[in-house]
Amino acid sequence: HEVESCADAGRIIGESSETNNCTTKLFTVPSSDLTVESITLSKPNPAVGDSINFSASVKNKGSGNLAANTIATLRVDFINNSMWNIGPLNLTTESLAGASTTIITWSNIQITREGTHKVEVCADNPDDVFEPDETNNCISQTFSTGLHAHWKFDEGSGSTANDSSGAANHGTLSN
């Protein structure tokens, strides 16, 4: 930004030089820039009927301090077709200094369908904070419900049946 200050701007007073009446100064106003860095589920592979918590890491990438009460929004799409079944669920943030991070948690969200789902979190919704980049406020990811373990029993030997579902629910075989 630039500000200009002038004395005798209307040139009312006769002077030997009218060229030195003004001065300008450049200055920068620190700005905030909110991003959602990650989304974490309290249960990585929830079952249908489970209530889970979604937590989001929200960072102020800017150098300016952000006052409290900025809105963060959670939405869940149970069919992964961009038709949001839950949300928007809004929470307000605490104040956030420049270059700092906070965790926001939405609690007890019930999963009602089996399959692959999409979750989205947006910070600064609906663009209340002026930011240099308004395109980096949201992230989304998918998660699945239903299958908690898949044992192929193809280890060949030993007493462990490895879980190939990704949930790490390995089994121990015994007689």
pTM beyond 0.85, yes or no: no
What is the pLDDT confidence band of residue 10, given thresholds at 50, 70 and 90?
Answer: confident
Write out the two tokens for 85: 């079944």
Q: CA-CA distance, 145 to 151, in Å (whole number)?
A: 17
Contact partners, residue 115, CB within 8 Å, separation at least 6? 78, 79, 80, 144, 145, 146
Model pLDDT for residues 137-155, shown as the tens digit of each residue: 999 999 988 766 778 899 8
Write out the two tokens for 14: 């006769």
Give the burial class of 145: count Cβ atoms within 10 A of its Cβ; 0-12 exposed, 13-18 middle, 19 or more buried: buried
Model pLDDT for residues 88-122, shown as the tens digit of each residue: 999 988 889 999 999 999 999 998 888 889 999 99
Q: CA-CA distance, 35 to 22, in Å (whole number)?
A: 41
Find out whether 53 and 105 touch, Cβ atoms under 8 Å.
yes
